[in-house]
Structure 1
């Protein structure tokens, strides 16, 4: 027989881990509600969803899930392509903005609050599972990857578009790291999802026909480096959260201000535009 004392200790450990995970997800949910991510997505990355949907070869009648969908960057073009689409995200404020956008564009989508690491769908539920710079921000990469595979049918497609570690957004997270709170136990850096070897390892031998390519998004929205920095300080949840972490420490605020502006200047082209690199990866579930 098992020792009741050992069972009790195990239950306590499991309960503590669950509470910690719930608190972590609550922080993530609150972070993405900061600022104005819907405006940022509309201003800067609107075409990325279409790029992903085309790479996934979404067809009319396909059952499609957009994981960590945000405001529907990929869900909306998938629905307009004739697919039956579910858009899931952890943050209800983003889902509400997505509903409004979908209605404006005539896209019929089911919107559902859900955790990418514990999706509320049966196995083999979808023909295509997408994520456009979304699932990369779930803290536990293997748990998210396992869910992507689980809910996609055999022969179905997983299609992912994520910022690379060495690209502009990956380097922005690197610049912010020393000013951010310590990561939660087991959490991994989001830009790792832009490393093809990392994604291959996460998906493992459960997928085949992997196709991958790196490309860039040309961003011409900002007149100068300081304009980029100030835009992200007021609209992008992760950046806002980092600034809140250093609070009224004027020296650190100044140092981070300088680091972000210098990053923008480093990546700027002669005409002032900046290329943001991403990894586009598709795979077929075994």
Structure 2
């Protein structure tokens, strides 16, 4: 039985449906699969290994996007279900997995209300995905619920102080106000926050800050323009201020200045993006 019910009244359920529809539409903007394969590809295989993906292991990838971690887990021999709120991402993932020779199941699902049975999976993972579900406790409850006792939970999330966390902080003044009850995504990169969400339902909890070296961009403007074209949350923020040229210009400048704080060294085009790798076992 699920531990968290965010539905409440009919009005609350309708508001939640509207919010999830907005999230689906946001992640369908641009080309997130390009970001997953061109910029953060290394995170998928790393997370699949941390989840213990191997033959005989049944794995659920939650908020899988186009399946960079799910496909890696399937190629490692695991039986994999990739779930995501946005069907457009799943369609791209299915094609990419087939091209790579990976076989897995693709399911549209809300991370806060998943259509899977209790204790159905040996491992549950998410690669910079569940952090964007608005209600953190409801999401954490679902991760635990569908994991078998003794099974592994493995999560990769951007940290608040890292590059992507600071990109969201930079965009916040220009974004539409979050709905009541929604929590900031980068909180999932705070080990204390994640530990509190999972609580005493897990053991062997480990949280390790790691750095992803990103050399895809030749300069700060190239990074900014790439995210303006491909990354749903950035596109949504720019749409929110499209009628205010001064705000657009200010955000353009702020995003172009951001990479200077995260260079590998002073002259290198390589950026360091910090993320948190969490692993735990369900009691």
- Gapped regions of structure 1 (runs ≥ 5): 1-12
1:89-139 Cα distance to aligned partner (Å, 9 max, x none): 000000000000110011111000000000000100000000000000000
Q: Work out whether 1:284 is the aligned partner of 2:271.
A: no
Of 33, 36, 46, which aligns to 1:38? Answer: 33
Q: Work out whether 1:167 is the aligned partner of 2:162.
A: yes
Q: Work out whether 1:235 is the aligned partner of 2:230.
A: yes
Cα offset, 1:272, TM superposition: 1.5
1:264 matched to which residue of 2?
A: 259
Count of aligned pairs between the two proteins? 274
Within 5 Å, which residues of 2 pair with 1:196-211? 196-211=191-206
1:189-218 Cα distance to aligned partner (Å, 9 max, x none): 000000000000000000000112111110
2:188 matched to which residue of 1?
A: 193
Of 16, 21, 32, which aligns to 1:21? Answer: 16
Q: Work out whether 1:216 is the aligned partner of 2:211.
A: yes
Cα offset, 1:14, TM superposition: 0.4
Cα offset, 1:59, TM superposition: 2.0
Of 76, 86, 92, which aligns to 2:81? Answer: 86
1:149-206 Cα distance to aligned partner (Å, 9 max, x none): 0000000000000000000000000000000000011000000000000000000000
Instruction: Specify the SS of the correspondent of 2:208.
Output: strand
1:124 matched to which residue of 2?
A: 119
Instruction: Specify the SS of the correspondent of 1:208.
Output: strand
Q: Which has the higher helix share?
A: 1
1:274 matched to which residue of 2?
A: 271
Paired with 1:99 and 1:57, the residues of 2 have a C-alpha distance of: 22
Instruction: Specify the SS of the correspondent of 2:9.
Output: helix
Instruction: Provide the alpha-carbon RMSD of the alignment.
Output: 0.8
1:226 matched to which residue of 2?
A: 221
Q: TM-score, normalised by structure 1?
A: 0.95
Paired with 2:163 and 2:179, the residues of 1 have a C-alpha distance of: 24
Cα offset, 1:47, TM superposition: 1.2
Instruction: Please identify runs of 4+ aligned residues in structure 1 that moved more than 4 A.
Output: none
1:8 matched to which residue of 2?
A: none
Instruction: Specify the SS of the correspondent of 1:184.
Output: coil
Paired with 2:237 and 2:126, the residues of 1 have a C-alpha distance of: 24
Q: TM-score, normalised by structure 2?
A: 0.96
Instruction: Specify the SS of the correspondent of 1:282.
Output: strand
